[in-house]
Structure 1
Amino acid sequence: MQRSHFRFPVIQRRLQSFRKRQHAIRDGPIETFD
């Protein structure tokens, strides 16, 4: 159970970064990569 607890935040972070990239591509140039 501890594994999933530690793995969950990583997946969420990846999802957020993926969404940010999609938004950046839609808006135009990619400048936010922090």
Structure 2
Amino acid sequence: MKDGWIAEESGPTPARLRLAWGTMILLRNEALI
């Protein structure tokens, strides 16, 4: 997952896609707690 994230960060990433990734990561972190 991190590899894909880095690949997207290095290239042009739409704001919506980046927001979606951030939201998913936050939700996953909330579930782990």
Q: TM-score, normalized by length of structure 2?
A: 0.60
Stretches of structure 1 that go unaligned for 5 or more consecutive residues are 27-34
Aligned residue pair count: 22
User: For 1:1-34, what per-residue CA distance to the aligned partner results, in whole angstroms no more than 9, with x for missing partners?
Assistant: xxx6x700000000000000000000xxxxxxxx
1:31 alignment counterpart: none
1:12 alignment counterpart: 19
**RMSD, matched Cα:** 1.7
Q: TM-score, normalized by length of structure 1?
A: 0.58
Hey, which of these two has a bigger chunk of helix by percent? 2
Does residue 23 of the first structure (1) align with residue 30 of the second (2)? yes
